[in-house]
Amino acid sequence: MINITLPDGSVKEFEAGATAMDVAKSISEGLARNVISASFNGTKVETTTPLHEDGSLILFTFRDEEGKKAFWHSTSHVMADALQQLYPGIKLTIGPAIDNGFYYDIDFGDQKISENDFKKIEDKMLEIARGKHEFQLRSVTKAEALEFYKNENNPFKVELIENLTDRDITFCDHSNFTDLCRGGHIPNTGIIKAVKLLNIAGAYWRGDEKNPQLTRVYGVSFPKQKELKEYLELLEEAKRRDHRKLGKELSLFTFSQKVGQGLPLWLPKGAALRERLENFLKKAQKKAGYEMVVTPHIGQKELYVTSGHYAKYGEDSFQPISTPAEGEEFLLKPMNCPHHCEIYNNSPWSYRDLPKRYAEFGTVYRYEQSGELHGLSRVRGFTQDDAHIFCTPDQLDEEFKKVIDLTMYVFSSLGFENFTTQVSLRDPENPDKYIGKEENWEKAENAILSAVKDKGLNYIVETGEAAFYGPKLDFMVKDALGRSWQLGTIQVDYNLPERFDLTYKGSDNELHRPVMIHRAPFGSMERFVAILLEHTAGNFPLWLMPEQAIILSLSEKYENYSKKVLNLLENHEIRALTDHRSETMGKKIREAEVNKIPYMLIVGEQEENDGTVSVRKHGGEDLGTMTVEEFSKLVNEEISKTLKTFEV
């Protein structure tokens, strides 16, 4: 007999060889109908995998992230099967689950595929699914696996197998289809009730531009047709909220091929928006004791060799810039932290001087591949709201918690109320990925875990996701469409102070190393604006809007009164503009709605005589007639609901 421990702590006894599905059936038939995947002792298993030892079992349904991954990965097998039947001779590579669905990278050879073929592929997938074929995982030897794919003339699978160990190779079968796979599948194809292929893209084998280009087919699937319908409606809403579309409509930013891919140009409205965001954070930072610094866009190569960034980011950075001086090389800076270390090193410090908090809106550069660029969310030049805190080990806990408070203030002021946190630790199996001493990593990881527990944050721990120089706390924010984004990061670093020989004189009159905290509540201005645009659909919080009001005159003869109202609004620090064109009021209102202007102030003969404005809110709500002073009070009250004062 074996003992199976369930997530609630209860223990059930089963005969050796029982499966996850047997456990589900012992709990309830309803659960058994919905269980599609499982994890045993931290390793994903099939629901039909025999269990032969005591252990902890987690059962997953489609509502669970792990369940979705198994569902979507299984569907990628079904899609690969359908494609092989429809396009004989194609070469399969990999087909993982992703955040929202799955993809499969395929070499189609001389055969062509387009979105016009999606319907027949989907029909074939559903035909296969209706067969209710079981997914069966089986172990094979390395020799057997190589022989299978050499016979299929598939060099991609052969390359994958050559990098695997002999006793660690499995195939997954369903119906007459076989694929190299590690596991993690649903019980059978019949659970797949709805499929939709989404798009086609090019992808290099293993992400390397030197390798052959493959065709990547993206799709999504669900256990119910209704869920697919809801998802497609969500996709349409996401298209309407696409920050690239809204950025163009609202004249916030643009790109130029002559300037270069991934290098955004901020238009006047976008630049003003950025400035307001910067000033908002600068004001809070000043109260929190930060000092602003400015560093150059380049630095000598040796600076980044010392910091370790050249070794870790060298391939992803722009290549060194050679000067007329022999052997002298500079880099566009990939990070601000080495520069801030040198600022700290400018003066000797005592423990009484610490903490030192240096902040900068510093622009950094990474050479992202052109296929990975995406509007503002993935660029080659971006500005980080970067700050680095140099403190004593005794101050670390308090300083880390203060940064958490500042980050949460930023989120609440911008309407991001739904978030979780992720503590990213190093991967103990791959120590070569990181720099620094073991004891320093332990101190840093323990400091973060202690702070999040004391703050009562909802957090998860992810092993292997730490930065190369230290562990970190990431804030995972959900937007209005339920999508999760990583915003805001706080990192503890014992390593750079050592690499740059940073010191302070302690109370014992001896030199000690400071601890360094890296933090960026926005992350980068570009990516933050992209996410904020899509979260709000361009309807930013009122305090942030490029224009908070527009004055619409019924005809040109009220132009002077419009200007008078505009001056009064400016005196109340309300951003507004006028529209006294000889257009219909309906057209003026429609254009103001498209431009997301929060308030429309309509003026005509009655308003001029009474010294008032007729107020219409974005979306169509009529707020009636009021004086400019009353309108100003209304605006300030709305702003105060979201833009609170930062309390230290």
Active site residues: 337, 366, 384, 386, 388, 472, 518
Report residue 201: phi and psi, to 5°: -145, 165
Give the residue carrying structure tokens 């699937």: 221
Residue 294: CB partners within 8 Å, gap ≥ 6? 360, 362
Polymer length in residues for the chain: 648
| 545 residue type, one letter | M
Question: Are 71 and 188 within 8 A, CB to CB?
Answer: no
- In a 10 Å sphere around its CB, with 0-12 CB exposed, 13-18 middle and 19+ buried, how is residue 482 labelled? exposed
Nearest to 94 by CA among 199, 193, 221, 207: 207
**DSSP 8-state class, residue 341:** H
Tell me the one-letter amino acid at 601. Answer: L
**Cβ proximity of 631 and 641 under 8 Å:** no
| Cβ count near 312 (within 10 Å) | 19
Nearest to 269 by CA among 251, 256, 284: 251
What Cα–Cα distance (Å) separates residue 128 from each residue in 85, 117, 185, 194, 220? 11, 17, 16, 12, 16
At residue 566, the 3 state secondary structure works out as: helix
Task: List, in order, residues 6 or more apart from 590 with CB less than 8 Å away.
Answer: none
Give me the sign of the Cα torsion angle 593, 594, 597, 600: negative
Give dist(CA 403, CA 413) in Å, integer: 15
Distance CA 477, CA 486 (A): 6
Contact 505, 261 (CB under 8 A): no
